[in-house]
């Protein structure tokens, strides 16, 4: 058995550690590229959302490398994610790929159900699976910590690209983690290197929140490296979803309806009385929360033809007006190109900069290119 899974941000790094610790052979798909999207688009219905196409392309590339078992997310849901496993399985089988596919109930299941399912699929004893979880989860948490550190450091570093370089190197090292000691050493060395980056602490970067559709927010390929691009332009970013937080919530805390979700629901209630599938409710509640926290603007990412985010984006102008926060909607599709994205970003940043200058009652000054 050679297991594979589609990409979701840096999740593959933690999964490689998890499966190695379990003693199960696993192949991550090659990094997503234009080829991946083209492969997926060729097998996908034309108007389906772009994450479906990229994920399908990931599976084609992994099956070509010899994988024979696919683990993916399953979610009975009003949005298309609920149909991903069946549709993708049918499309791949039609093209002659031989494999088995299992949809893990990570999005509305519990940790125990998912672990039991992995045990049934792989035949690995539960004790060994738990060892894999005990090593894979801290790796996932560190990956998120690295992203958070990069969000803070990029707009303040004196040498552009210093933080990104250290973070990239650390992520490559994390793929090789095989015990807790190695992980602790990588953590120590990486955060020491990040702490040593010379910063210009006089800068007061614009603060922008990124929220919207799950895959677009967490996956740099799908969002065209949006976070790094903003960091390069001197903007501090924050997102409303991190993989470890998402996993904790869906596997451990959903049943308890933790305060985080209750807060978002409460905030969104005046605009949205019922939950909508996908991340639409979180986009509304998240925008309000970021406005209250003093962010300068919000980027709302959505996939072309994505119903939940389309509903949210219809409500967003009201939220933006009531909470006086500029929101830029960015729609991603197969044909999206980076230059179009950069043009829109540039204009949005200028608006935010002027607005901030006006609020400070200072004469208008153009944004310094960093
Ligand atoms: S939330 Fe939207 S983009 Fe994401 S899977 Fe559902 S329909 Fe597709």
pLDDT in tens, 209-218: 999 999 999 9
Same domain (yes/no): 223, 362: yes
Same domain (yes/no): 350, 268: yes
* Whole-number Å distance between alpha carbons of 216 and 24: 29
How far does the centroid of ligand 1 lie from the alpha carbon of residue 129, in Å?
30
* Whole-number Å distance between alpha carbons of 261 and 43: 36
**Residue 245, domain member (yes or no):** yes
Task: Read off the CATH number of the domain in which 279 is found.
Answer: 3.40.50.11900
Catalogue the E-assigned strands of 135-278: 206-212, 235-239
Same domain (yes/no): 299, 209: yes
Total domain count, the chain? 2
How far does the centroid of ligand 1 lie from the alpha carbon of residue 227, in Å?
21
Same domain (yes/no): 226, 322: yes
The tokens for 15 are 């999964």
Q: Does the Cβ of 302 fall within 6 Å of ligand 1?
A: no
Q: Does the Cβ of 308 fall within 6 Å of ligand 1?
A: yes
The tokens for 229 are 């691009």
Nearest atom within ligand 1 for CA of residue 277: 1
Q: Does the Cβ of 51 fall within 6 Å of ligand 1?
A: yes
Q: Which of 81, 219, 309, 313 for mutating ligand 1's site (highest number of atoms within 8 Å of CB)? A: 81
**Residue 172, domain member (yes or no):** no
Quote the pLDDT of residue 370.
35
Q: What are phi and psi of 178, to 5 degrees?
A: -130, 0
* Whole-number Å distance between alpha carbons of 146 and 142: 6
Looking at 131, 150, 169, the residue that finishes a domain is: 131
The tokens for 352 are 């935010």
The pLDDT tens digits for 49-64 are 999 999 999 999 999 9
Smallest CA separation from ligand 1 atom 5, residue: 81
Nearest atom within ligand 1 for CA of residue 302: 3
Smallest CA separation from ligand 1 atom 4, residue: 213
**Residue 166, domain member (yes or no):** no
Quote the pLDDT of residue 364.
52
Looking at 131, 150, 180, the residue that finishes a domain is: 131
Q: Which of 6, 40, 45, 49 for mutating ligand 1's site (highest number of atoms within 8 Å of CB)? A: 49
Q: Does the Cβ of 14 fall within 6 Å of ligand 1?
A: no
**Residue 159, domain member (yes or no):** no
**Residue 307, domain member (yes or no):** yes
The pLDDT tens digits for 152-205 are 999 999 999 999 999 999 999 999 999 999 999 999 999 999 999 999 999 999
Task: Read off the CATH number of the domain in which 94 is found.
Answer: 3.40.50
* Whole-number Å distance between alpha carbons of 304 and 310: 9
**Residue 267, domain member (yes or no):** yes
71 near 104, Cβ under 8 Å?
A: yes
pLDDT of 332 higher than 80: yes
Smallest CA separation from ligand 1 atom 8, residue: 49
Token look-up 């992203």 returns 147
**Residue 236, domain member (yes or no):** yes
Looking at 131, 149, 172, the residue that finishes a domain is: 131
**Residue 110, domain member (yes or no):** yes
How far does the centroid of ligand 1 lie from the alpha carbon of residue 307, in Å?
7
Q: Which of 79, 300, 333 for mutating ligand 1's site (highest number of atoms within 8 Å of CB)? A: 79
**Mean pLDDT on 325-348:** 94
Closest CA to 266 of 249, 282, 251, 248: 282
Closest CA to 228 of 323, 164, 140: 164
Kindly give the interhelix angle for 259-268 and 280-292, rounded to the nearest 10 degrees.
90
- pLDDT confidence tier of residue 80, bands split at 50, 70 and 90: confident
What residue numbers bound the domain in which 295 lies?
205-370
Same domain (yes/no): 111, 225: no
């Amino acid at each position: 058995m050679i297991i594979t899974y589609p990409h979701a941000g840096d999740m593959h790094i933690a999964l490689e550690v998890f499966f190695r610790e379990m003693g199960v052979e696993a192949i991550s798909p090659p990094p997503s590229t234009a080829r991946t999207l083209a492969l997926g688009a060729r097998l996908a219905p034309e108007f389906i959302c772009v994450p479906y196409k990229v994920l399908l392309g990931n599976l084609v590339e992994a099956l070509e490398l010899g994988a024979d078992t696919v683990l993916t997310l399953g979610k009975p849901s009003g949005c298309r994610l609920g149909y991903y496993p069946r549709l993708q399985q049918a499309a791949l089988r039609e093209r002659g790929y031989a494999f088995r596919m299992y949809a893990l109930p990570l999005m509305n299941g519990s940790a125990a159900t998912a672990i039991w399912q992995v045990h049934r699929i792989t035949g690995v004893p539960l004790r060994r699976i738990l060892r894999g979880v005990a090593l894979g989860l801290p790796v996932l948490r560190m990956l998120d910590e690295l992203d958070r550190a990069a969000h803070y450091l990029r707009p303040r570093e004196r040498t552009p690209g210093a933080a990104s370089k250290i973070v990239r190197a650390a992520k490559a090292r994390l793929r090789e983690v095989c015990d807790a000691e190695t992980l602790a050493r990588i953590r120590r060395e990486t955060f020491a290197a990040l702490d040593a980056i010379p910063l210009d602490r006089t800068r007061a970067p614009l603060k922008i929140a990124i929220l919207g559709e799950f895959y677009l927010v967490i996956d740099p390929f799908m969002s065209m490296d949006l976070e790094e691009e903003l960091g390069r332009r001197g903007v501090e970013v924050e997102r409303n979803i991190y993989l470890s937080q998402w996993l904790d919530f869906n596997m451990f805390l959903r049943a308890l309806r933790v305060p985080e979700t209750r807060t978002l629901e409460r905030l969104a209630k005046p605009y949205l009385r019922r939950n909508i599938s996908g991340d639409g409710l979180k986009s509304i509640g998240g925008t309000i929360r970021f406005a209250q926290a003093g962010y300068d603007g919000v980027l709302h990412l959505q996939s072309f033809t994505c119903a939940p985010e389309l509903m949210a984006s219809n409500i967003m102008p009201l939220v933006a007006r009531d909470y006086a926060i500029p929101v830029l909607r960015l729609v991603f599709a197969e044909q999206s190109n980076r230059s179009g994205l950069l043009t829109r970003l540039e204009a949005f940043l200028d608006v935010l900069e002027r607005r901030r200058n006006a609020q400070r009652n200072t004469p208008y000054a153009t944004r310094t290119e960093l």
